[in-house]
Amino acid sequence: MRKAPTILHLDMDAFYASAEQASKPSLRGKAVVVGGLGPRGVVATASYEARVFGVNSAMPMAQARRLAPNAAYLVPRFDFYRSISEQVMGLLRELSPLVEPLSLDEAFVDLEAGGTAWDERSARLAGAKLRADIRAGTGLTGSVGLAASKMLAKIASEQAKPDGLVVIEPGTERALLGPMSVRTLPGVGPATGDHLRRAGIQTVDEIVEAGEDELVRLLGKAHGHGLYAMALTRDERAVVAERETKSVSVEDTYDVDIHDRVRVGLEVQRLADRCVRRLRGAGLSGRTIVLKVRRYDFSTLTRSETLRGPTDDPAVVREAALRLLEGVDSTGGVRLLGVGVSGLADFTQEDLFAQAMEERMDHTVEETAEDTAVQEPKEVAERRWVAGHDVRHAEYGHGWVQGSGLGRVTVRFETPRSEPGRVRTFRVEDPALEVAEPLPLVEVPGLRPRQA
């Protein structure tokens, strides 16, 4: 382990919810929950104001509504979040060539590799400057942890939340971690934590006292050895600039269980096409097709088929996914479907799958046309009036959708730099109202958005 706290971990604070609050003045300081709004949706992020009521990420949305009925519930705007993330990652890469993104809102940085920091003082200055630059560039806040290893830097950033900076100086790690809960350590979730608690192990110090052999007996060889090493603060993992993509997948959860076998097949084909579009967008192909089915009783089945060579042919992926579906009993109903491709490569072997191509293409055209006809009304409706998404009115300017139903859509007209705006209601087909792109959170020179 290093002798200076030159590994930085950044975690943006309640990222999706904070971005929505910054974008919508009327939501600042209020409970905001971002996620799927259907009966089976889950919480992606909750603002700190919503967390006071017990709302947390990955919680069923129905439970969140019971806990915080007066919160604002919004559908994620991933393109918007991604654009902010690109700005933040750009700031990190100014600090070092070794930046390891973990998600849109989280990353490790090796400050020493960039010559940005070499001791505690320089690391602290770099962390403070990064936080200031993020606030100036995006209007949002991030928490920074600095330590001599990745594990400790991540623990430090958790201690820094929200909007803080914590440095764990080398030599103080054991004393700091000792009294903390075992759940502090990476990889210790609720199940492992409960298992350790039943064995009388609740703190990191108690892990060390129990000894490596006891942990192996309780948790198995790999997990036991790893957890004991973490309790001793041993972590030699390097910051890796490029994380290899291992698979590409898409999945949908349905508000109502699907019982019709034909509909299930059509959904699988649609997901296969979406998966291939994502695959091609990344310039990849793959050999192994994976089908995921979650049934009415929450049991989840995963089936896979490995082809003779990598492909990015949508017809091939569709056919493989349908073959896998044949071996799955869906008579009780299906609540989730997913299609993925793994065994990725940057080339294809289309010649291996040329048999009966003309016949297959005829089927593809018919199936695609039928699928599009079925799905188009839903996609148009969701694209136009999704709660939280941006719109523009010819007379009133920029706003966002508060809700829609019964042929009406309610819009609040405001921008990131305006006062909280007024609310107006329109017919859903009002020609003066249209979908709009999100406005930047921080004023861009030369761009003067119309105020509400």
Residues tagged active-site: 106
Estimate the crossing angle of helix 212-219 against helix 221-231, to 10 degrees: 140
Q: Is beta strand 285-295 parallel, antiparallel or unpaired with respect to 334-345?
A: antiparallel
- Cα angle, residue 29 at apex, residues 24 and 31 outer, rounded to 5°: 85
| Rounded CA separation 54/283 (Å) | 42
Both tokens of 205, joined, read 């110090």
State the distance between the two ends of the chain, measured CA to CA, in whole angstroms: 54
SS3 content of the chain, % helix, strand, coil (to 5): 40, 25, 35
3-state secondary structure of 319: helix
Around Cβ 412, how many Cβ atoms within 10 Å?
Answer: 19
Both tokens of 206, joined, read 């108690």
Q: What are phi and psi of 398, to 5 degrees?
A: -85, 140
| Rounded CA separation 47/55 (Å) | 9
Q: Where are the alpha helices (DSSP H) in 291-352?
A: 314-326
Query: CA-based Rg of the chain, rounded to a whole angstrom?
Result: 25
| Rounded CA separation 255/206 (Å) | 45
| Rounded CA separation 37/42 (Å) | 8
Contact assessment for residue 291 and residue 268, using Cβ atoms and an 8 Å cutoff: yes
50: part of which helix (H) or strand (E)? helix 48-51
Q: Where are the alpha helices (DSSP H) in 294-423?
A: 314-326, 357-384
